[in-house]
Structure 1
Amino acid sequence: MTRPTPHTRADYPYHHSTPTRWADNDVYGHVNNVTYYAYFDTAVNAYLAARSALDIHAGTVIGLVVETGCLYFAPAAFPELLSVGVRVAKLGTSSVRYELAVFREGADTACAQGHFVHVYVDRETRRPATLPHALRTALEALTTGS
């Protein structure tokens, strides 16, 4: 299997600034692998909230993660400032595949990159629901066709 190469900042239409926290480091002195998933989730939800695309408290739909993965290329550690790039690789009727990459300050290539798939469901029934117009519009702005 050929290992993928790290993406560049230019590969992502949206970037979310993320400061590392003391608690992000593990005993080995770098950001723990599971913390990257929190960075991914925060970047996506910050983007959607800033565009009023998703009402996390009272909206009729919520996003459930059904798949996720991450590749790690280089360590990051507290007290670095990171940037999380976000793009949409696939936009369906009720689902979206986000691709994300974490960049260290001043670096053009990702230190980690991954993906997750949200299936949007009705808040009450938990059955797949069509993406609301505002959500679809916000996601289309991130679509890269990759």
Structure 2
Amino acid sequence: MSQTQHLRDDYKRFQAITTRWHDNDIYGHVNNVTYYSYFDSAVNSYLIEEGGLDIHGGDVVGFVVSSSCDYFASIAFPERIELGMRVGKLGNSSVQYELAVFKEGEEQACAAGRFIHVFVDRESNRPVPIPAELRAALEAILV
């Protein structure tokens, strides 16, 4: 994956995040697994705020079924970052998010990843169609 494919203008929504002390690993940069936490936080904040997702009592929940990340440049504590987000694919019960980590104000991403949510019934854990309010929020950032 070429870094030039991951520019700020390619993303539709941004979530500001401040790195935390415990994000750094022994090598002095944010550990690779922490990026997945950033992705999850950005997506779920968006789904709660814009899509009306009720993570505690709603009938529908999103399960991550696949994820990946490519790294281009290090970030470290203390650093302010911005998570770029867009939807690459939107199905009946699933969505593929495409995300990128940018140092505050920078044009090229330090990392880029994706993950897939499958929306399921909370009780049965069986896939269900994405509810209308969530679908509308996802369509708003679809590329």
* Residues 13-52 of structure 1 aligned to structure 2 (within 5 Å): 13-52=12-51
One-letter code aligned to 1:86: M
Alignment correspondent of 1:124: 123
One-letter code aligned to 1:62: V
One-letter code aligned to 1:20: T
Offset of residue 92 of structure 1: 0.3
Residues 51 and 135 of structure 2 are in contact (CA less than 8 Å); yes or no, is this contact kept in structure 1?
Answer: no
Q: In the aligned structure 1, how far is the partner of 2:3 from the partner of 2:38?
A: 20
* Residues 1-146 of structure 1 aligned to structure 2 (within 5 Å): 3-6=1-4, 7-144=6-143
TM-score normalized with structure 1 length: 0.95
Q: In the aligned structure 2, how far is the partner of 1:81 from the partner of 1:5?
A: 20
Aligned CA-pair RMSD = 0.8
Per-residue CA deviation, residues 11-48 of structure 1 (Å, 9 max, x unaligned), is: 11100000000000000000000000000000001111
One-letter code aligned to 1:77: A
Counting matched residue pairs gives 142
- 2:55 aligned counterpart, secondary structure: coil
Offset of residue 52 of structure 1: 4.3
Per-residue CA deviation, residues 76-131 of structure 1 (Å, 9 max, x unaligned), is: 00000000001000000000000000000231100000000000000000000010
Offset of residue 5 of structure 1: 2.3
One-letter code aligned to 1:135: L
Q: In the aligned structure 2, how far is the partner of 1:14 from the partner of 1:120?
A: 21
One-letter code aligned to 1:68: S
One-letter code aligned to 1:60: D
TM-score normalized with structure 2 length: 0.97
One-letter code aligned to 1:46: S
Structure 1: give runs of 5+ residues left out of the alignment.
none
Q: In the aligned structure 2, how far is the partner of 1:130 from the partner of 1:80?
A: 39
One-letter code aligned to 1:4: S
One-letter code aligned to 1:112: A
- 1:107 aligned counterpart, secondary structure: coil
Structure 2: give runs of 5+ residues left out of the alignment.
none
Offset of residue 51 of structure 1: 1.6
Q: In the aligned structure 2, how far is the partner of 1:15 from the partner of 1:106?
A: 11
Q: In the aligned structure 2, how far is the partner of 1:93 from the partner of 1:133?
A: 11
